[in-house]
Chains A and B, each alone.
Chain A
Amino acid sequence: EPEVTQTPSHQVTQMGQEVILRCVPISNHLYFYWYRQILGQKVEFLVSFYNNEISEKSEIFDDQFSVERPDGSNFTLKIRSTKLEDSAMYFCASRNTANYGYTFGSGTRLTVV
């Protein structure tokens, strides 16, 4: 069964450093998403991406965040200057036009120290 692949599975970074979280969505999917889950809290929407541009972003997704689809397969989330409160699980997801159900990756656990 096709999977969404995320790397790394765990990243530790110092406050103020830049991080890039990587995702390979399912190949025939056209819609891409990032969500995050702070420990003990809900899974929250960050951003949706379609046709090589952001289609919607949440209040969390401020100027410190950016997304990119640098080639035909990868989808990245960059946090420019990490804060302690950015520590969370970050999930990438994708879906195609025919299916409303997303496929999520296993997540990247980001720890900012």
Chain B
Amino acid sequence: QKEVEQDPGPLSVPEGAIVSLNCTYSNSAFQYFMWYRQYSRKGPELLMYTYSSGNKEDGRFTAQVDKSSKYISLFIRDSQPSDSATYLCAILSGGSNYKLTFGKGTLLTVNP
């Protein structure tokens, strides 16, 4: 079973739409749940991360984790054309190394 699964999309929405991006994971040992944004030919940029089940909000972005179903989501409100990018979920495993395991990424296009 793959460790982190993410629907690769692509996803195309009109400006102002609410976007929902989702991942599932298989390993209960995973501890921190992260969302990265990656623009073309750039490295991943951390958007936000959370540890516990529930919601965490940062501006227009809300990260949601449901540990019981091993499901994580990122919601983008009032989406903007500048939000067009690939969104990567990533799970951080514990121990001293804090290795990241990534999903494949969802390509999002927000149309003006």
- On A, residues with C-beta under 8 Å from B are 4, 6, 31, 33, 35, 41-45, 48, 50, 55-56, 91, 93, 95, 100-107, 109
A42 touches B46 (CB 8 A): no
- Residues of B near A95 (CB, < 8 A) are 98
A101 touches B49 (CB 8 A): yes
Q: 28 A-B residue contacts at CB 8 Å?
A: A31-B98, A33-B99, A33-B100, A42-B104, A43-B88, A43-B90, A43-B102, A45-B99, A45-B100, A48-B99, A50-B96, A50-B97, A56-B97, A56-B99, A91-B44, A93-B43, A100-B32, A100-B34, A100-B49, A100-B98, A101-B34, A101-B49, A103-B46, A104-B36, A104-B45, A105-B43, A106-B41, A106-B43
B34 touches A104 (CB 8 A): no
- On B, residues with C-beta under 8 Å from A are 4, 32, 34, 36, 41-46, 49, 88, 90, 92, 96-105
Q: Which of B43, B96, B99 contacts A91 (CB 8 A)?
A: B43
Q: How far is the CA of A48 from the CA of B97 in the complex (A)?
A: 7
Q: Which of A41, A48, A55, A104 contacts B43 (CB 8 A)?
A: A104
